[in-house]
Amino acid sequence: MIILKNLTKMYRGTKAVDNLNLRIPEGTIFGFIGPNGAGKTTTIRMMTGVLRPTSGSIFIDGLDMAKEPSQVKRIIGFIPDRPFLYEKLSGTEFLRFKAGLYGLGSNGLDNEINELFELFELSEWADELIESYSHGMKQRLIIASAFIHKPKVIIVDEPMVALDPRGAKLVKDLLRESARKGSTVFMSTHTLTLAQEVCDQIAIVDRGRIIASGTPRDLEKQAGVTGDLERVFLTITGGWREREYV
């Protein structure tokens, strides 16, 4: 369960996130979509404890991020949009490091790591330095590392960046399977087909505020259009003007 209460973030007098309220039940895949600069990444950075909110609260699995950050972070698996890693570590060393940070013991860790490498088709590269990985391979490694401690909540910022179709399919299946087992997935994306395909609930955010939310069907009703999510999104965010210009 994820609860955001009156979440606000100010940057030099500008509200990047403006009084955001959300309640996401367990086992849900929640899509967070919006135009560039809408405040999606800022929200995610606050939810993962990387950034402090100006005001408001974040509760993950009943725990307050402001009061018990370490406990909250222990149950989150975070996948950022840019694959910044320690280039001088090998893939295996990175996963061991990540396991260490989350306090996992060495019992069964080798098996766990091998399974993840196999799942993400990185076994051949496990002992190579990360600096020799391609962009897509780094993204696969980051996603693998987010699952090493079996998180209850998975927070994903643009999951499909740099992934090939096989990788994209794998991630979709993994997110669905995690939700089926009871994990909550919070996913920010620009890939509207992905959101439509996997999300149980979607919120559209613009200028730091939620301007529409609900199931994909609810959003269609709110926008007064039927069809794909792109039409719904463009109607709600006013993007048709640009489309007409083109």
Residues that bind another protein (CB under 8 A): 11, 45, 48-52, 69-71, 73-74, 76, 78, 80, 82, 84-86, 88-90, 93, 96-105, 127-129, 131-132, 134
Please report how close the Cβ of residue 74 comes to another protein at its closest, in angstroms. 4
- Per DSSP, what are the bridge partners of residue 17? 9
CB 235 within 8 A of CB 219: no
Phi-psi region of 163 (alpha: psi -120 to 50; beta: other; left: phi over 0): beta
**CA nearest neighbour of 24 among 72, 67, 77, 60:** 60
Residue 164 vs 242, nearer CB to another protein: 164
The sign of the CA dihedral 46, 49, 50, 55 is: positive
As a dihedral over the C-alpha atoms of residue 179, residue 180, residue 181, residue 186, rounded to 10 degrees, the angle is: 0
Please report how close the Cβ of residue 158 comes to another protein at its closest, in angstroms. 14
Please report how close the Cβ of residue 88 comes to another protein at its closest, in angstroms. 4
Distance CA 116, CA 148 (A): 8
Give the DSSP letter string of 156-212: EESTTTT--HHHHHHHHHHHHHHHHTT-EEEEE-S-HHHHHHH-SEEEEEETTEEEE
Please report how close the Cβ of residue 161 comes to another protein at its closest, in angstroms. 15
Residue 100 vs 238, nearer CB to another protein: 100
CB 187 within 8 A of CB 32: yes
User: For the chain, what is the largest distance between any 2 Cα atoms, rounded to a whole number of angstroms?
Assistant: 60
Residue 49 vs 56, nearer CB to another protein: 49
Residue 117 vs 233, nearer CB to another protein: 117
Please report how close the Cβ of residue 189 comes to another protein at its closest, in angstroms. 18
Please report how close the Cβ of residue 155 comes to another protein at its closest, in angstroms. 9
Please report how close the Cβ of residue 107 comes to another protein at its closest, in angstroms. 11
